Structure 1
Amino acid sequence: MIGEEASPGRVERLIRAIPEGAVLRGVFVALLVIAGSIAFLDYRQLAEATADRERISRTEPMPLARPEPGDQVRPYLPKTIPVAPDRGVPSLPGWDGPVDGEAMAERMRFVAGPDGAISAIGRIEIGTAGDFRDFLASPEAAGARTLYLHSPGGAVDDAILMARELRERRLSAMVPADGYCASACPLLLAGGLTRNAGEGAWVGVHQVYALPLSDVSRDVDRSIAGVQETIARCQELLVAMGVDPAVWIKAMQTPADSLYVLTRDELIAFRMVRPFPDDTSFIGPPAPPALPVPTLSVAGDGAADPASSDSSG
């Protein structure tokens, strides 16, 4: 019959069967779930950011188990050192101050010790390569033969310049027993004409990463390109210094907030430890002049910023 309404379908009948209050309650519950999820995500992001700030700013040593083969990844603290349960205090010629805490958080300092020893302790920052060059030119460094390292790393570009300076002057490099050389520091170690690491020394690597140091908007493509260029410079340095660049694979596999600590066998296999100078047939031609530091800088604790040049670490 014209005008007669069609019988409601099954879906419509189900909808009509739902009490109005149930619909409102369902909407309310859904909104609560959404709000709770957003709050949880915000809390998790805040907690992660807080934990990362604490990790980056921490200057107190953190007790960590000594790395063993197959168990070599440890947290990376850019301003302090790990302390194994049985870890001793490194002996740094000429240095009579503390070897942890604030000493590691400050800009790298250089002191002369007996028998041609020089000790370097602290972070590698922008301009540290210039400080090192000036120190080596001073009367205090006359007769220098070996650089003792105790550093959490820092600016990659400065570490590369310092490594080239070491090799040009034919100086050796050493991480003392129970010493610490992390992040960009192994690049400096690689510059030694001969290289060694004492018992219990931690020599660790990890990824280069970008660190914003200004309010200028980040250019992602430029950041990625800058990091890749820095990785290439690191590998170029290792090859020029007679170190197996395969060690950088370990670095690239390790997140920036962690550290891959090389075993003694790995240090020898990768030629990070080398008790005798290599002949030129292995090293190849002399290292070319250092590339100018780009506007995009990277640190081995490791960081790059498209608008400035500095480290993490």
Structure 2
Amino acid sequence: MSNDPREKPNPKEKTGNGVGRILTAILIFQLGIGAMLVLGDVQLGRLSLPGLGPNAPRLTEPVRPGDQRRTYRPERDRPPTQPARDPGQLPERLMLTQIEGATYRLEGAVAEGDGARVKKLLSEATPTPETLVLQSPGGSVQDALELGRHLRDREIGTQMLAGEFCLSACPYILVGAATRDIDDSAQVGMHQHYFGQSTILPASFAVEDIQAGQGEVMVYLNDMGIDPMVMTHALATPPDEIYVLLPEQLREYGFVTQED
């Protein structure tokens, strides 16, 4: 480029520089707006980030009336009560093992495909299962619903022992049983779920999936004789937390089979 001050500037260069500055300004403006929206969501409790937003106690802390939401990471968090037995590391999918006679233990995470797989295990078990001792951190909602309906059709009961837990999608298996016996020190917890939503799809499709899934769950609970109002606690609790139902709530919402 010449340093001659008499040389006229190229108008194309000025135009290009001007466009570049405008695009840069627009980008900075958009980033600023995005940052303010994210900060607003965090402050309003709509978005949880490490070290930001609501700070619920961990699940290891005792639960009291009105203080029932706990942080929940299945691989880390366990209830504080002493269990009837130490389960160790729970299986990554449901496992069926015989305890005695027609009483079996169903334990582990609810993996995709476990509905059909466990139904097959139950049909092949000898003697025919009458009661399942249940313990699970949850998992696939659709598989839990499928398995719960199968338990009701087969008139199989469920039982929860002292200090053991049934969280996330697990309660849908629990309530599907024909009879339900839950020790007062066992923990049953619920929260919001994902229903196959894809981050690739537009947000409107994800919302439709969630609403349809929640509707299916409420119909299921009603069919099982459970008060669907229990979902008010689940819907108000984000997926990284769990709402633990108190023994009196389990009876109020119909989780515990009442003796005639």
TM-score normalised by the chain length of structure 2: 0.74
71, 78, 81: which one aligns with 2:74: 78
Q: Are 1:260 and 2:243 an aligned pair?
A: yes
Question: How much does 1:113 deviate?
Answer: 1.4
Distance 1:155 1:113 in 2: 25
* Aligned equivalent of 2:128: 143
Tell me, in whole angstroms, the C-alpha distance in 2 between the residues paired with 1:128 and 1:254: 25
Check if 1:99 corresponds to 2:87: yes
**1:208 counterpart residue number:** 193
Q: Which has the higher contact order (CA 8 A, sep 6+)?
A: 1
Are residues 1:164 and 2:152 paired?
Answer: no
What is the CA–CA distance in structure 1 between the aligned matches of 2:94 and 2:133, rounded to whole Å? 12
| Paired residues, number | 215
SS in 2 for 1:218: coil
Q: 1:227 aligns with which of 210, 215, 231?
A: 210
1:247-297 Cα distance to aligned partner (Å, 9 max, x none): 1111111111111100010000000111448xxxxxxxxxxxxxxxxxxxx
| TM-score, normalisation: structure 1 | 0.62
From 236, 239, 260, the counterpart of 2:219: 236
User: What's the CA shift for 1:79?
Assistant: 3.0
For residues 109 and 82 of structure 1, the distance between their equivalents in structure 2, rounded to whole angstroms, comes to 19
Report 1:60-71 matches (<5 A): 64-71=60-67
Assess if the C-alpha contact under 8 Å between 1:80 and 1:152 holds in 2: no
Contact kept in structure 1, 2:131 and 2:159, CA below 8 Å: yes
Instruction: State, as a whole percentage, how many aligned pairs show the same letter.
Output: 27
Give the aligned CA root-mean-square deviation in angstroms: 2.8
User: Match for residue 305 of structure 1?
Assistant: none
Whole-angstrom CA distance in 2 between matches of 1:118 and 1:154:
20
Deviating above 2 A after TM superposition, structure 1's stretches of 4 or more consecutive aligned residues are 48-52, 78-81, 209-213
- Structure 2, gaps ≥5 residues long: 1-30, 43-47, 53-57
Q: Give 1:155 deviation, angstroms.
A: 0.5
Point out where structure 1 has 5 or more consecutive residues left out of the alignment: 1-33, 53-61, 92-97, 278-313
Q: Is the 8 A contact 1:118 1:144 kept in 2?
A: yes
